[in-house]
């Protein structure tokens, strides 16, 4: 008798945002109906409320429902009440699973609108019939929505938020040049400069270039950009299955692809180059990408195939060496350490034999390209600093900030401008122009000379665009593995 007295009536209410807007079935109204039903039936047992506000009934991953089921399994509930069947679930399989659980623990299920109680055989039969009808109607709605969205996609209408670089005009994508220029730059950085997602995101954040939502760029954001077919003018719909908690990419046969559906930002050739690089799936850790050592992240051991990383040998004069990671970490490889200067020299000599000597005009053009790119980055960084200061001036004029905040922003702008002038005035120093001009006056500059004066990080990124790996078999014995179709 004590165990029975402790059991309670459970009132379950649920509403999703779109349902509340369309049908006006509020949570308060559901609770009022259920409490009134209890009073009308003369049930004096305490009623406990379980409320899911803003959750869909397409699955059972709802916090209040999970708490309710836990209380059912612990024997605290004798009766569960809802206003309508679809408040609990819209899927027949889920409903039958729940009913089986309720029966196992002696809990009856009552729906006030459908007027049945699963404590009786007729109530259970009615429940199953109504559940089947509800699932049938849900599938019909899904089919109608799919057909409508399919028609919209085939007519070139964009069905979701516009990607970075575009704006929506009457459900059509139009190019937004201030962002489109950055999209083109990201693709060039990825394909032509060989930079990875991490390096690109880092560069954009260092220049204080905001993303669409005003936040910092992330590896995922850059990756999604270079993989998005919208930038080549192709509309792709129904690619991702969002019906489950974890979004899954569907089979390609299920995709709806419409080429030339809107203006393209990226040329088709550049787009295919980007996809080929992605398909090659060469994983270089961000730490190796940023390493100042020329072969960091690409050099592999010819004995066991493991990666070779930089280490230091000797004391007190330390010497850079490339060591096999399998030998260093697990002692399972017989490979010895190699002086890094020697290995990098062997590599440069091999490249010089493989590639024709670089003439003066070509080398000068390469350096000019790097200078122009660096200058553009500095100018853009200063531009954004000026924009931030202008916004602070407006905020001060409107009385939103104090003079101290404005003064700090002005000092930051002046510092950025001073740094810009300083770097621009000494911009040619990293390339040692004087020494370069002396060499050019004597003979044509070779690729080896270029390796000695260009920034290592820039060189490494360029090399990765056509070199897959470098295998060290022994002294002066290197195997250079190129990317396919290079």
Q: Which residues are catalytic?
A: 16
Phi-psi region of 115 (alpha: psi -120 to 50; beta: other; left: phi over 0): left
- DSSP reduced 3-state for 305: coil
In whole angstroms, give the CA distance from residue 303 to residue 307: 11
Q: Provide the angle, in degrees to the nearest 10, between the axes of the packed helices 360-397 and 403-425.
A: 170
CA distance 226 to 198: 13
Tokens 């070139």 correspond to: 156
Rounded-to-5 percentages of helix, strand, coil across the chain: 55, 15, 30
Cα–Cα distance between 372 and 374 in angstroms, integer? 6
In three-state secondary structure terms, 323 is strand
| Cβ neighbours of 391 (radius 10 Å) | 11
Is 226 within 8 Å of 182 (Cβ atoms)? no
Beta bridge partners of 403: none
SS3 string, 8-61, reads EEEEEEEECHHHHHHHCCCHHHHHHHHHHHHHHHCCCCCEEEEEEECCCCCCCC
């Amino acid at each position: 008798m004590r165990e029975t007295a402790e059991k309670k009536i459970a009132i379950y209410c649920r509403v999703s945002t779109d349902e509340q807007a369309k049908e006006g079935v509020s949570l308060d109204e559901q609770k009022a109906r259920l409490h009134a039903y209890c009073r009308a039936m003369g049930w004096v047992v305490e009623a406990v409320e379980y409320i899911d506000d803003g959750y869909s009934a397409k699955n059972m991953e709802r916090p209040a429902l999970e708490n309710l089921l836990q209380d059912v399994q612990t024997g605290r509930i004798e009766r569960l009440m809802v206003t309508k069947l679809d408040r609990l679930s819209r899927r027949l399989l889920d409903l039958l699973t729940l009913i089986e659980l309720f029966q196992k623990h002696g809990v009856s299920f009552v729906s006030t609108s459908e007027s049945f109680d699963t404590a009786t055989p007729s109530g259970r039969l009615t429940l199953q019939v109504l559940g089947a009808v509800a699932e049938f109607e849900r599938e019909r709605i899904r089919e109608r929505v799919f057909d409508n969205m399919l028609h919209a996609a085939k007519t070139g209408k964009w069905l979701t938020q516009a990607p970075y670089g575009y704006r929506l005009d009457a459900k059509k994508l139009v190019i937004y040049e201030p962002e489109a220029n950055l999209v083109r730059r990201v693709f060039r950085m990825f394909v032509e400069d060989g930079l990875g997602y991490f390096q690109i995101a880092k560069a954009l954040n260092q220049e204080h270039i905001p993303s669409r939502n005003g936040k910092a760029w992330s590896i995922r954001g850059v990756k999604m950009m270079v993989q998005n077919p919208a930038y080549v003018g192709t509309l792709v719909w129904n690619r991702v299955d969002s019906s489950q908690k974890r979004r899954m990419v569907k089979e390609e046969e299920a995709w709806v692809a419409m080429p030339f559906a809107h203006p393209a930002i990226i040329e088709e050739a550049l787009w295919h180059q980007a996809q080929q690089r992605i398909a090659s799936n060469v994983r270089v850790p961000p730490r190796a990408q940023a390493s100042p050592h020329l072969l960091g992240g690409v050099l592999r051991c010819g004995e066991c195939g493991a990666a070779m990383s930089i280490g230091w040998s000797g004391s007190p004069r330390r010497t850079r060496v490339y060591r096999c990671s399998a030998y260093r970490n697990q002692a399972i490889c017989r490979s010895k350490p190699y002086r890094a200067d020697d290995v990098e020299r062997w590599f440069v000599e091999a490249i010089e034999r493989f590639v024709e000597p670089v003439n003066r005009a070509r080398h000068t053009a390469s350096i000019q390209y790097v200078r122009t790119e660096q200058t553009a980055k500095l100018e853009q960084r200063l531009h954004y600093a000026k924009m931030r200061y202008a916004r602070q001036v407006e905020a001060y004029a409107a009385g939103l900030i104090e003079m101290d905040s404005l003064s700090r922003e002005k000092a930051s702008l002046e510092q950025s401008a001073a740094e810009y002038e300083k770097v621009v005035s000494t911009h040619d120093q990293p390339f040692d122009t004087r020494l370069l001009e002396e060499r050019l006056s004597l003979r044509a500059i070779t690729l080896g000379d270029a390796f000695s004066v260009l920034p290592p990080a820039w060189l490494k990124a360029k090399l990765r665009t056509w070199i897959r790996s470098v295998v060290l078999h022994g002294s002066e014995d290197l195997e250079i593995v190129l990317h396919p179709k290079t």
